[in-house]
């Protein structure tokens, strides 16, 4: 019961924050405005303090303050500290407040171990030398360094500097070696231009093409948020809508916090808040404050509380409304677009049967024909078009694809009219003892690099072009078995829906058949996943999680750990604040950002490998696991980095005397931590990885492999095509965006007038992500289809965590903020430590409520839409991928077992031109002509030239209009004058006609009125 009471309280928290906090602010501001400081001559203290606590008025009337009592910043030259505690030290818990301490308290302060007592100024100042244990008379001169540091020319340098200098030198040498290799590679002679041309053409053919009259790329200005691209599927549309929604939300938060900052930028207290208490200029700024400025500080804190509540409520409601919009968009788009998903059911429960005889005998019925006849003899009848069997490829997957690759290579050679099937041998290398790294990158086999290998041509092989086909090519697959699962394809969608409600009889009288609609496209089916049981998949998942943990630990121990140890060796000591403000701090944050980028890329690769080894049956399920793992692993990396950030701030704590109470109560401390957090987030986390990704994908994947292919004669066209093929499009950007949102929402735990700037940078990051992903999908990725909204629904649940962080920040501000305003002079604020309990409860309550709303409430607002009627043949004529040619074993049996002419060719990106129409095997697609794509710069220049020509035409028209203006004006004046003269001349005639008509109509009207009477 107590839990539900707290849950109800936390849900009403945003409604309770505003009136309660406003009452507190009004009361404190009224107290501040009614307080007048007492003047005491030249040494008068200016009123810069907080609401006056008991005993402070008495202290202000004195020339000297009592020891360890907080007071506002006095004027320069005024003496306020007594002789027994003559040194003045700032109070880290409050803004612009100071205390009087003794020399022993100043020098041996555990919070500030490097502070010194300045006899001339009477201030307890800090040693500014990083790593110094004891400073000399000046704050910029060290007397003794800490353990682990060497004293060299007045500076303290860590012992580990030599090891890291060697590491940096080795990295520099490797970088120079790579640059030299790239330059040498670019200037190599071209000896295999034919393979490079074939690879470039295949790269263009494998992209997402507009498959209408001519196959051509989609324009770059295509609105991917509103226009459905059939080749990408509905999942791509939802993905880009999510990206743009994140951009709009980020812009909204930046505007809200920017309005708060604009409201308070006129306050002088902002200058103090943005300076650390130990800053050299903070004393002068504190002296310039008055009572109204302190009241402005209270108001500013409350305005930030209001803004946080508003952002939280708007984000929570907006996320739920967007989830409803996404699900409605999926249902409506899926109903409008007829796809292969509308014509197939998956039936399981069939017996595991083998391939069959090596060569089918006359009159013998194959498995496909037997299953098709079974379904047609069932209540489903002639509505069944055909079947596609799921085979157990676990042991023969590489051999199956090798047979298909060989068939594709031969058909491509026939299509191009090539004579050479294999490449020429490569010349001997200068260092044969070293491994051929370039050949391994290109996938060239050792047998193909043997010197003197014969170059085979068509004339060397069989005389007939189709003699390579036949049962002999697949005699090693006779032991391959089925998995008991079959896709049944129907003529129409109505046939499929009726069959889904109609039970089947037992197969061969003993096997019960289960029917279900998988809700996926044939291009998204992973045919090797049907042979894996649920237990095996769970085992692979657990194994992959362990490997991921080992990888992250190894990365932390061998790369991240040594670097952070080196950084912490001089940033966690006193005096490091100045170091981190300069060029060194920028370099360290940049290097940390590069480490984050490399670590995230490793995690991305590992998560993709784990998801692939689990062998799911659809790419949607595989991608959902990959993105979830990636988001979790990257979040774990971020928490480690935040821990590093905390330790890096240890030096700042020593420089400013910060403790937990100061962190919660002092806005300047919060702003300082805000600066540290921003240095971590931007640009290393939210911008730099997305700026480096285009460089890696475009430069490395295209130019380096192009230079390698054209300079090596032992690379076949098929190998060149595989090397230069674009990478598939992925949906891991869901995880990237959500992690960035969580990171930036952590800033709401702090109070800073620069929060808007952080979200403005997040807007920049989202713009870069949206622009690059659109270009990547349309130009730099091969055709990839996402047919369902599984990944988007998963992302809707992942958006719970950014909102939960906002709820925690609101609870923290509400608890801590109220205590800060109520009692500036009290020391009991953190004794109970209850504010963190409220933060945890607020986050947990939001997670529970948000999850329940997404699971139960959001689906109630989504209505089902009736699909448009369509037949399988109509869809198959426009789609290169169908339920038959997506199945690799089915294509292999069509090629070598049944010897169809033309056969089913495995549908791969860039191979659509190999498909031929054959109605007997339900192959209806034939690719239209391909239209060569223009380069990005060519499109920019053509668009610019078109705009320039349009501008020239507009300028010419404007000149003609200006030149003809006097003549047209003269004609217009003459026309108006003539019309006026004609009207004046005709006025008497018109008037007389009007009088005659009026006189003639009077008797008639009189007679009508009399008859009516």
Least confident of 218-222, 290-294, 660-664, 950-954: 660-664
Between these two residues, 411 and 212, which has the higher pLDDT value? 411
**Overall average pLDDT of the 629-643 stretch:** 73
Q: SS3 for 637?
A: helix
Q: State residue 246's pLDDT score.
A: 96
Between these two residues, 543 and 297, which has the higher pLDDT value? 543
- The most confident of the ranges 20-34, 141-155, 482-496, 995-1009 is 482-496
739 pLDDT band (50/70/90 cuts)? confident
* pLDDT per residue as tens digits for the range 71-118: 776 765 566 788 788 787 777 656 667 778 887 777 666 555 556 777
* pLDDT per residue as tens digits for the range 843-883: 999 999 999 999 999 999 998 888 888 899 999 998 889 99
Q: State residue 35's pLDDT score.
A: 34
Query: At residue 447, does pLDDT exceed 80?
Result: no
Between these two residues, 40 and 816, which has the higher pLDDT value? 816
**Tokens representing 519?**
């809700």
Between these two residues, 161 and 493, which has the higher pLDDT value? 493
Neighbours of 419 (CB within 10 A): 12
Please report, for residues 403, 670, 1009, 1010, the alpha-carbon distance to residue 477 in angstroms, rounded to integers and kept in the order given: 11, 68, 108, 111
409 pLDDT band (50/70/90 cuts)? confident
Rounded (5°) CA angle 582-588-590? 105
Beta 149-152 vs 155-158: how paired, if at all?
A: antiparallel
Q: State residue 265's pLDDT score.
A: 59
Q: Smallest Cα–Cα separation from 312: which of 808, 807, 816, 756?
A: 807
Q: What is the overall mean pLDDT for the chain?
A: 75
Query: At residue 291, does pLDDT exceed 60?
Result: no
Query: At residue 380, does pLDDT exceed 90?
Result: yes
Residue 387: phi and psi, rounded to 5, are -135, 155
Least confident of 206-220, 840-854, 954-968: 954-968
* pLDDT per residue as tens digits for the range 154-166: 777 777 677 777 8
Between these two residues, 260 and 44, which has the higher pLDDT value? 260
Cβ atoms of 421 and 413 within 8 Å: the answer is yes
Q: SS3 for 298?
A: helix
**Overall average pLDDT of the 939-945 stretch:** 64
**Overall average pLDDT of the 934-961 stretch:** 69
Looking up tokens 């937990």, which residue turns up? 660
- The most confident of the ranges 430-439, 562-571, 576-585 is 562-571
* pLDDT per residue as tens digits for the range 340-357: 999 999 999 999 988 877
485 pLDDT band (50/70/90 cuts)? very high
Cβ atoms of 858 and 324 within 8 Å: the answer is yes
Cβ atoms of 383 and 498 within 8 Å: the answer is yes
Between these two residues, 285 and 948, which has the higher pLDDT value? 948
**Tokens representing 468?**
């390579």
Q: What percent of the chain has pLDDT over 90?
A: 24
Q: Rounded distance, CA 51 to CA 30, Å?
A: 9
Least confident of 24-28, 94-98, 210-214, 662-666: 24-28
Q: State residue 664's pLDDT score.
A: 46
Q: Rounded distance, CA 97 to CA 60, Å?
A: 13
Q: SS3 for 488?
A: strand
281 pLDDT band (50/70/90 cuts)? low
Q: Rounded distance, CA 1006 to CA 1013, Å?
A: 11
Query: At residue 266, does pLDDT exceed 70?
Result: no
Query: At residue 8, does pLDDT exceed 50?
Result: no
**Overall average pLDDT of the 284-289 stretch:** 57
Least confident of 348-362, 440-454, 910-924: 440-454
Q: State residue 418's pLDDT score.
A: 67
Cβ atoms of 75 and 44 within 8 Å: the answer is yes
**Overall average pLDDT of the 54-59 stretch:** 36
Looking at 20-109, which runs of residues are DSSP E strands? 71-72, 87-90, 97-101
Left, alpha or beta for 122 (phi > 0: left; psi -120 to 50: alpha)? left
> What is the reported pTM?
0.76
**Tokens representing 219?**
């324009």
Length of the chain: 1013
Neighbours of 401 (CB within 10 A): 16
Query: At residue 279, does pLDDT exceed 60?
Result: no
Query: At residue 215, does pLDDT exceed 70?
Result: yes
Report H helices in 472-616.
Answer: 493-500, 534-555, 561-571, 576-581, 583-613
Please report, for residues 34, 282, 466, 793, the alpha-carbon distance to residue 141 in angstroms, rounded to integers and kept in the order given: 46, 22, 88, 60
Query: At residue 27, does pLDDT exceed 50?
Result: no
**Overall average pLDDT of the 671-683 stretch:** 68
Q: Rounded distance, CA 411 to CA 911, Å?
A: 10
Q: State residue 642's pLDDT score.
A: 63
């Amino acid at each position: 019961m107590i839990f539900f009471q707290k849950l109800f309280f936390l849900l009403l928290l945003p409604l309770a924050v505003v009136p309660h906090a406003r009452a507190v602010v009004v009361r404190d501001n009224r107290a501040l405005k009614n307080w007048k400081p007492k003047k005491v001559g030249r040494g008068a203290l200016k009123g810069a303090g907080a609401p006056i606590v008991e005993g402070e008025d008495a202290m202000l009337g004195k020339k000297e303050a009592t020891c360890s009592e907080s007071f506002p910043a006095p004027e320069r030259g005024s003496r306020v500290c007594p002789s027994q505690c003559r040194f003045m030290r700032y109070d880290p818990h409050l803004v612009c407040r100071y205390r009087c301490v003794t020399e022993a308290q100043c020098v041996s302060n555990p919070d500030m171990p490097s502070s010194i007592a300045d006899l001339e100024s009477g201030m307890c100042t800090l040693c500014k030398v990083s790593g110094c244990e004891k400073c000399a008379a000046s704050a910029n001169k060290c007397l003794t360094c800490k353990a682990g540091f060497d004293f060299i020319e007045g500076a303290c340098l860590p012992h580990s500097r030599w090891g890291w200098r060697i590491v940096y030198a080795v990295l520099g040498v490797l970088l120079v070696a790579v640059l030299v290799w790239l330059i040498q590679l670019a200037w190599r002679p071209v000896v295999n231009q034919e393979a490079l041309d074939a690879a470039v053409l295949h790269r263009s053919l494998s992209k997402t093409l507009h498959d209408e009259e001519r196959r051509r790329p989609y324009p770059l200005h295509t609105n991917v948020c509103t226009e459905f691209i059939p080749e990408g599927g509905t999942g791509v549309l939802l993905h880009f809508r999510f990206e743009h929604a994140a951009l709009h939300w980020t812009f909204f938060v930046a505007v809200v916090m920017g309005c708060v900052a604009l409201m308070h930028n006129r306050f002088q207290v902002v200058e103090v808040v943005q300076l650390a208490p130990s800053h050299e200029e903070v004393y002068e700024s504190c002296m310039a404050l008055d009572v109204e400025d302190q009241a402005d500080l209270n108001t500013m804190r409350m305005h930030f509380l209001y803004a946080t509540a508003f952002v939280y409520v708007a984000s929570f409601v907006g996320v739920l409304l967007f989830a409803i919009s996404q699900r409605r968009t999926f249902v409506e788009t899926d109903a409008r677009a007829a796809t292969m998903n509308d014509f197939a059911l998956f039936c399981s429960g069939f017996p595991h049967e083998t391939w069959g005889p090596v060569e089918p005998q006359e009159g013998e019925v194959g498995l496909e024909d037997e299953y098709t006849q079974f379904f047609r003899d069932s209540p489903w009848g002639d509505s069944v078009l055909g079947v596609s069997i799921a085979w157990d490829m676990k042991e023969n997957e590489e051999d199956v694809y090798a047979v298909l690759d060989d068939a594709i290579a031969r058909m491509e050679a026939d299509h191009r009219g090539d004579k050479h099937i294999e490449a020429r041998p490569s010349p001997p290398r200068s260092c044969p003892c070293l491994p051929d790294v370039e050949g391994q990158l290109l996938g060239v086999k050792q047998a193909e690099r043997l010197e003197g290998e014969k170059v085979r041509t068509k004339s060397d092989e069989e005389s007939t072009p189709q003699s390579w086909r036949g049962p002999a090519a697949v005699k090693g697959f006779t032991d391959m078995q089925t998995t008991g699962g079959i896709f049944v394809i129907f003529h129409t969608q109505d046939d499929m829906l009726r069959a889904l409600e109609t039970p089947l009889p037992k197969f061969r009288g003993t096997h019960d058949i289960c029917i279900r609609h998988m809700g996926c496209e044939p291009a998204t089916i992973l045919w090797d996943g049907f042979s894996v049981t649920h237990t095996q998949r769970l085992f692979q998942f657990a194994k992959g999680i362990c490997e991921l943990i080992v990888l992250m630990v190894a990365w932390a121990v061998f790369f991240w750990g040594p670097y952070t140890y080196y950084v912490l060796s001089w940033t966690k000591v006193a005096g490091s604040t100045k170091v981190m403000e300069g060029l060194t701090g920028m370099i360290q944050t940049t290097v940390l950002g590069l480490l984050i980028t490399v670590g995230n890329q490793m995690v991305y690769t590992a998560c993709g490998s784990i998801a692939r080894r689990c062998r799911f049956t659809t790419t949607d399920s595989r991608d959902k696991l990959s993105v979830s793992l990636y988001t979790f692993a990257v979040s774990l990396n971020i928490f480690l980095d935040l821990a590093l950030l905390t330790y890096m701030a240890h030096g700042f704590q020593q420089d400013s005397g910060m403790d937990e109470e100061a962190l919660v109560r002092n806005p300047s401390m919060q702003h300082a931590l805000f600066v540290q957090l921003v240095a971590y987030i931007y640009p290393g986390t939210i911008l730099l990885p997305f700026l480096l990704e285009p460089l890696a994908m475009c430069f490395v994947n295209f130019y380096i492999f192009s230079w390698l292919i054209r300079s090596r004669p032992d690379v076949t066209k098929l190998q060149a095509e595989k090397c230069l093929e674009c990478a598939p499009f992925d949906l891991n950007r869901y995880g990237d965006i959500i992690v960035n949102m969580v990171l930036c929402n952590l800033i709401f735990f702090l109070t800073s007038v620069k929060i808007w700037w952080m979200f403005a940078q997040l807007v920049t990051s989202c713009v870069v992500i949206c622009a690059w992903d659109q270009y990547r999908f349309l130009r730099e990725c091969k055709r990839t289809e996402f047919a369902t909204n599984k990944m988007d629904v998963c992302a809707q649940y992942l958006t719970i965590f950014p909102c939960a962080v906002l709820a925690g920040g609101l609870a923290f501000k509400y608890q801590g903020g109220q205590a800060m305003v109520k009692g500036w002079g009290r020391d009991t604020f953190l004794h109970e430590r209850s504010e963190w309990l409220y933060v945890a409860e607020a986050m947990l309550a939001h997670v529970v409520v948000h999850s329940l709303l997404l699971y139960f409430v959001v689906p109630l607002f989504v209505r089902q839409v009736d699909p448009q009627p369509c037949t399988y043949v109509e869809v198959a004529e426009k789609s290169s991928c169908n339920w038959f040619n997506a199945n690799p074993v089915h294509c292999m049996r069509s090629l070598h077992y049944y010897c169809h002419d033309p056969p089913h060719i495995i549908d791969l990106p860039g191979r659509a031109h190999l498909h031929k129409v054959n109605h007997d095997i339900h192959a209806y697609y034939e690719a239209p002509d391909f239209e060569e794509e223009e380069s990005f710069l060519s499109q920019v220049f053509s668009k610019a030239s078109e705009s320039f020509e349009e501008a020239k035409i507009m300028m010419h028209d404007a000149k003609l209009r200006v030149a003809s203006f006097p003549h047209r004006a003269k004609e217009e004046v003459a026309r108006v004058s003539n019309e006026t003269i004609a009207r004046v001349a005709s006025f008497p005639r018109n008037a007389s006609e009007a009088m005659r008509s009026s006189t003639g109509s009077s008797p008639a009207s009189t007679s009508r009125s009399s008859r009516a009477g």
